[in-house]
Amino acid sequence: MIRVLIPTDFSENACNAIRYAMELLKYQKCEFLVIHCFADDVYANTMEMSREFFDLYKDKTKEAIDRSLQGVIAEMLEISPNPKHNYEYKAVFASLVDACNEMANSEDLDFIIMGTKGKTDNRDITFGSQALQVAKYVKCPVLMVPVAYHKNPPENILFPTNYMLPYKRRELKLLNILARSFSARMQFLYLSRHKVLSHRQEDNKRFLDSSMDPNEVSHSYMVGDHLTTAINKKMEDDDINFLVMVNSRHSYMESVLQDSTIDTMGLSLKIPFLIMQNLPR
């Protein structure tokens, strides 16, 4: 059973992420929990209200959100009446990051799926502020689905790595399942000025291979030190349609997220992007 959390702000971008999630997991037994977090909106709209009216406003807001979430679930059932899927919803009075972190533990989530942007849909940025916060702070794998991405589920997966991380078995198992569902090809990309691997790197490389069995796996090597350029080139040359990276202490991914530099670094993210979290949960 795969347990998936899908935050929504009821935008078309969020609906697109839901549709992609159902297609991605159509062969798997899954529980989808669709949530909307409304604390920030309530606080912003009730700054001058008395406590009595604040509580009333909060209750009325929750009722309206519950109705909207019921509509989302109804649409999901209409799109994909999959007997392997179970759909639930919840209106949560909390910030999105707090809710996702709490549910990652209480609901034993396998991963979170959401759009890269929400209602604002600023075309000049790759990640919206909410998506960036979730990717940065939530200790659970996060799959970001770009705006209007309607193409097929994974066929060519790119996984840049330096073979130095002790990857989490649970997260690799999830990736294995996603790849196996669509007979996807998995390509690990190693960028360095030294092709020879250390013993640690060799061991981690073998662990990755065994964790991806029986999927088709390949390893490619590129000379250099500019990972963004290498990733963009690989995605274009090999028709990649699913990107995987690991967020860990002092990693490339952490530096990107902490500095909010995805756009200034030029990482072209027009395909689904799975961020695995090699951080304490």
Q: pLDDT tens across 38-81, in order? A: 999 999 988 888 988 999 999 999 999 999 999 999 999 998 89
Report whether pLDDT(7) > 90: yes
- Round to whole Å and give the CA distance between 22 and 87: 11
Instruction: Tell me the C-alpha distance between 270 and 204, whole Å.
Output: 29
| Distance (Å, whole) CA 246 – CA 13 | 24
pLDDT in tens, 147-200: 878 777 899 999 999 998 878 899 999 999 999 999 999 999 998 988 899 999
Rounded to an integer, what distance in angstroms lies between the CA atom of residue 51 and that of residue 277? 40
- How do residues 100-122 score in pLDDT, each as one tens digit? 999 999 999 999 999 986 555 55
For the domain made up of 156-245+257-266, give the CATH fold: Rossmann fold (3.40.50)
User: What's residue 264's pLDDT?
Assistant: 45
Would you say residue 27 has pLDDT above 60?
A: yes
Closest to 88 measured CA to CA, from 145, 39, 30, 37: 30
How far apart CA 246 and CA 248 sit, in angstroms, is 6
Predicted pLDDT at 124: 46
Q: What angle do CA 217, 188, 252 make, to 5 degrees?
A: 160
Q: By three-state DSSP, how is residue 111 classified?
A: strand
Report d(CA 11, CA 277) in Å as an integer. Answer: 27
Q: Return the pLDDT at 254.
A: 57
Grade residue 137 by pLDDT with cuts at 50, 70 and 90: confident
Euclidean distance between CA atoms 1 and 20, whole angstroms: 18
| Amino acid in the structure at residue 255 | S
CATH-assigned architecture of domain 2-145: 3-Layer(aba) Sandwich (3.40)
Query: Which has the closest alpha carbon to 212: 253, 166, 159?
Result: 159
Residue 110 in 3-state DSSP? coil
Among the residue ranges 44-53, 91-100, 218-227, 272-281, the one predicted with the least confidence is 272-281
The pLDDT-based confidence of 37 (bands split at 50, 70, 90) is very high
**DSSP secondary structure string, 193-251?**
S--SPPHHHHHHHHHHHHHHTTSEEEEEEEESS-HHHHHHHHHHHTT--EEEEEE-TT-
Q: What is the pLDDT of residue 128?
A: 65
Range(s) within the chain of domains with CATH label 3.40.50.620: 2-145, 156-245+257-266
Share of the chain above pLDDT 90, in %: 64
